A and B are shown apart, each in its own frame.
Chain A
Amino acid sequence: MTTSPVTRKRIRGGIGESPLRPDGIPKVTGNFAYASDLHAEGMLWAATLRSPHPRARITKLDTAPALAVGGVVAVLTQDDVPGRPGFGMHVPDQPVFAAGECNYWGEPIAVVAASDLETAKLGVAAIVVEYEVLEPLTDMEEADAADSQTRRMKIRRGDRTVSGAVSVEGYYEVGQQDQAPLGNEAGLAIPDGDGGVDLYAVSQWVHSDHWQIYPCLNLEPEQIRCHPVGMGGAFGSREDVSMHIHLCMLALRTGRPVKMMFDRAESFVGHVHRHPARMWYRHEADADGKLVKVEARLILDGGAYESSSNAVIANAAYFAMGPYLCDNVFIDSVAVKTNNPPAGAMRGFGGVQTAFGHEAQMDRLADELSIDRLEFRRRNALGQGDPMNSSGQIIEGSLPTAELIDELASMPIVEPLASDDPRHLPGGTGLTTNPDHVKRGMGYGVTIKNLAFSEAFDDYSDVRISLSPIGVEVYTAAAEVGQGMVTIIQQLAREVLKIEQVAVVWSDTNVIGSAGSTSASRQTQMTGGATYQCAVELRQQILDEFGGDDLSSEGVWRDGDLLVTLAEVCGGGAKEHEIRYRHPETFATDENGQGDPHPAFAVAAHRAVVDVDPELGLVRVVQLDTVQDVGKVLNPVAALGQIEGGALQGVGMAVLEELVVDKGVIKNPNFTDYLLPTFLDAPHIEVRFVEEPERWGPLGAKGIGEPPTISAGPAVYAAIQDAIGRHLHRVPVLPQHIVGSS
Chain B
Amino acid sequence: MEITRPTSLVEALEARAEDPGADLLAGGTDLMVEVNFGHSRPEHVIALRRIAELAQIDGNRIGAGVTWARLEKSDHRALAQLARTVGSPQIRAAGTIGGNIGTASPAGDGLPWLAAVEAEIEVTSKDRGVRRLPCSEFFTGVKRNALAPDEVITAAILPENVPTNQEFAKIGQRSAMVISTVSACVVRDDDGTVRVALGSVAPTPLRATRAEALIAENPDPSEAVLAEFVRTVSAEVSPITDHRSTESYRRHAAGVLARRLLERCLAR
Q: A431-B170, A677-B174, A681-B175 are in contact. Are A736 and B249 (CB under 8 A)?
A: yes
Inter-chain contact B38/A121, CB cutoff 8 Å: yes
Q: Which of the 9-residue segments A402-410, A459-467, A601-609, A611-619 touches chain B?
A: A611-619
Complex-state Cα separation, A736 to B256, whole angstroms:
13
CB < 8 Å neighbour of A680 from B171, B175, B244: B175
Binary CB contact string for chain A from 577 to 620 against chain B (1 if under 8 A, 0 otherwise): 00000000000000000000000000000000000000111101
- Contact bitstring B165-193, A, C-beta under 8 A = 1, else 0: 00111111111111111000000000000
A304 at the interface (CB under 8 A from B): no
B85 pairs with A430, CB closer than 8 A: yes
Chain B residues whose CB sits within 8 angstroms of the CB of A437 once the complex forms: 260
> Would you call A431 and B253 a contact (CB within 8 A)?
no
Contacting pair B174 A656 (CB below 8 A): yes
Contact A432 B176 (CB under 8 A): no
A428 x B243 contact (CB < 8 A): no
Those of B212-261 within 8 Å (CB) of chain A: 243-246, 248-249, 251-253, 256-257, 260
With A and B bound together, what is the CA distance between A655 and B172 in angstroms?
A: 12
Contact indicator A430/B171 (Cβ below 8 Å):
yes
Is the C-beta of A128 less than 8 angstroms from some C-beta in chain B? no
B170 proximity list for chain A (CB < 8 A): 430-432
Q: How far is the CA of A434 from the CA of B244 in the complex (A)?
A: 24
Give bound CA distance, A678 to B244, whole Å. Answer: 17
Q: Mark the stretch among A132-140, A358-366, A384-392, A667-675 that contacts chain B.
A: A667-675
Bound together, the chains give a CA A668 to CA B174 distance in angstroms of: 15
- A31 interfacial by beta-carbon distance below 8 Å: no
B176 & A428 in contact (Cβ 8 Å cutoff): yes
Report the separation of the CA atoms of residues A667 and B242 in the bound assembly, to the nearest whole angstrom. Answer: 9
Main secondary structure of the interface of A (DSSP, over half): loop
Taking a contact as CB atoms under 8 Å apart, the answer to whether B175 and A736 are in contact is: no
Q: Which residues of B contact A617 (CB under 8 A)?
A: 249, 253
Q: Do B243 and A660 have beta carbons less than 8 Å apart?
A: yes
- Closest residue of chain B to A437 (Cβ to Cβ) is B260
- Scoring A residues 646 to 668 as 1 if CB is less than 8 Å from chain B, else 0, what string do you get? 00000000011000101000011
A431 & B169 in contact (Cβ 8 Å cutoff) = yes
Bound-complex Cα distance A655 to B178 (A):
14
Question: B169 contacts A741, CB within 8 Å?
Answer: no
Chain A residues in 8 Å Cβ range of B176: 428-429, 678-681
Report how far A431 CA is from B257 CA in the complex, Å: 10
B174 touches A735 (CB 8 A): no
* CB closest chain-A residue, reference B168: A431
In the complex the two chains form, is A735's CB within 8 Å of B260's CB? no
Contact B175 A616 (CB under 8 A): no
**B70-110 interface code vs A (CB 8 A; 1 in, 0 out):** 00000000000100110000000000000000000000000
Bound form: Cα–Cα A736–B252 in Å: 9
CA distance A434 to B177 in the complex (A): 20
B37 close to A265 (CB less than 8 A): yes
> By the criterion CB–CB under 8 Å, are A432 and B257 in contact?
yes
A736 to chain B, nearest CB (A): 4
If A741-B248, A742-B248 touch, does A615 touch B243 (CB 8 Å cutoff)? no
**Which residues in A have their C-beta under 8 angstroms from that of B249?**
617, 735-736, 739, 741-742
Given contacts A616-B256, A739-B253, contact A678 B175 (CB under 8 A): yes
A681 and B174 contact, CB distance less than 8 A: yes
In whole angstroms, what is the CA distance A571 to B131 when docked?
89
Q: Nearest chain-A residue to B174 (Cβ)?
A: A675
**In the bound complex, how far is the Cα of B92 from the Cα of A429, in angstroms?**
14
Q: Would you call A574 an interface residue if the criterion is a C-beta within 8 Å of the partner chain's C-beta atoms? A: no
Inter-chain CA distance A680–B17, complex, in Å, is 45
- Complex CA–CA separation, A421 to B46 (angstroms): 41
A445 at the interface (CB under 8 A from B): no
Bound complex: CA A660 to CA B243 (Å) = 7
Residues of A within 8 Å of B181, CB to CB, are 735
B224 to chain A, nearest CB (A): 18
Pick from B85, B173, B180, B251: contact of A735, CB below 8 A.
B173
- Given A656-B174, A672-B179, A678-B174, A735-B244 contact (CB < 8 Å): no
Min distance, Cβ A474 to any Cβ of chain B, angstroms: 40
Interface status of A427 (Cβ within 8 A of chain B)? yes
**How near does chain B come to A634, taking the closest CB pair, in angstroms?**
34
CB distance from B107 to the nearest CB of A (A): 10
A428 to B260, CA, bound (A): 15
Contacts of B179 in A (CB 8 A): 672-673
Q: How large, as a class, is the contact surface on chain A?
A: 35 or more
**Alpha-carbon distance between A648 and B122 when the two chains are bound, in angstroms:** 46
**A11 interface residue (CB < 8 Å to B):** no
**Are A429 and B253 neighbours in the complex by a CB distance under 8 Å?**
no
**Is B245's CB under 8 angstroms from A678's CB?**
no
Does B175 contact A620, Cβ atoms closer than 8 Å?
Answer: yes
Query: Cβ of A734 < 8 Å from any Cβ of B?
Result: yes
- Give the CA-CA distance A741 to B181 in the complex, in Å: 14
B178 touches A675 (CB 8 A): yes
Of the candidates B167, B172, B243, B246, the one whose C-beta lies within 8 Å of that of A430 is B172
Among A431, A677, A734, A736, the residue within 8 A (CB) of B248 is A736
- Most A CB contacts (10 A, CB to CB) among B171, B175, B177, B249 go to B175
Q: How far is the CB of B33 from chain A (nearest CB, A)?
A: 8
Q: How far is the CA of A660 from the CA of B175 in the complex (A)?
A: 20
B173–A428 contact, CB under 8 A? no
Question: A434-B260, A681-B176 are known contacts. Are A618 and B243 too (CB-CB below 8 A)?
Answer: no
For A616-658 the 0/1 string (1 means CB < 8 A from B) is 1110100000000000000000000000000000000001100
Q: Which residues of A contact B260 (CB under 8 A)?
A: 432, 434, 437
B244: nearest chain-A partner, CB-CB: A673
What are the residues of chain A within 8 A of B171 when measuring CB–CB? 427, 430, 432, 616, 618, 735
A40 to chain B, nearest CB (A): 25
Bound CA span A398–B85, Å: 49
Are A667 and B243 neighbours in the complex by a CB distance under 8 Å?
Answer: yes
CB < 8 Å: which of B175, B244, B245 contacts A427? B175
Known: A678-B176, A678-B177, A742-B246. A430 touches B252 (CB 8 A): no
**Cβ of B243 to closest chain A Cβ, rounded Å:** 4
User: In the complex, which residues 378-424 of chain A have their Cβ closer than 8 Å to any Cβ of chain B?
Assistant: 423
Q: Give Cα distance in the complex from A509 to B244, angstroms.
A: 44
A616 lies within 8 A of B174 (CB): no
Within 8 A of B (CB), among A703-742: 734-736, 739, 741-742
Contact A741 B246 (CB under 8 A): yes
A679 to B175, CA, bound (A): 9
Q: Which of B37, B169, B174, B181 has the most CB of A within 10 A?
A: B174
The answer for the CA separation of A617 and B173 in the assembled complex, in Å, is 9
Q: Does B173 lie within 8 Å of A432, measured CB to CB?
A: no
Contact of A736 among B33, B37, B38, B246 (CB under 8 A): B246
User: Which residues of B sit under 8 angstroms from A429, Cβ to Cβ?
Assistant: 84-85, 175-176
* Contact between chains at B252 and A668 (CB < 8 Å): no
Distance, CA A464 to CA B245, complexed state (A): 54
Q: Give the CA-CA distance A434 to B37 in the complex, in Å.
A: 39
Within 8 A of B (CB), among A245-262: none
Question: How far is A660 from B242 in the complex, measured between Cα atoms in Å?
Answer: 10
Residues of chain A within 8 A of B180, CB atoms compared: 430
Write the chain A residue with the least CB distance to B263: A434
* Assembled-state Cα–Cα distance A739/B257 (Å): 13
Query: Smallest Cβ distance from B175 to chain A, in angstroms?
Result: 3
Given contacts A431-B170, A681-B176, 14 further A-B contacts (CB under 8 A): A427-B175, A429-B176, A431-B169, A434-B260, A656-B173, A656-B174, A670-B37, A673-B243, A675-B173, A675-B178, A677-B174, A678-B174, A735-B253, A736-B248
20 cross-chain CB contacts under 8 A: A428-B176, A430-B169, A431-B170, A432-B257, A615-B256, A617-B253, A656-B173, A667-B243, A668-B243, A673-B179, A675-B174, A675-B178, A678-B174, A678-B177, A679-B176, A734-B245, A735-B173, A736-B248, A742-B246, A742-B249
Can you list the 9 inter-chain pairs with the closest CB atoms, starting with the nearest? A428-B175, A736-B249, A680-B175, A667-B243, A430-B170, A741-B248, A680-B176, A660-B243, A431-B169
- Residues on A lying within 8 angstroms of B by beta carbon are 121, 263, 265, 423, 427-432, 434, 437, 615-618, 620, 655-656, 660, 662, 667-668, 670, 672-673, 675, 677-681, 734-736, 739, 741-742
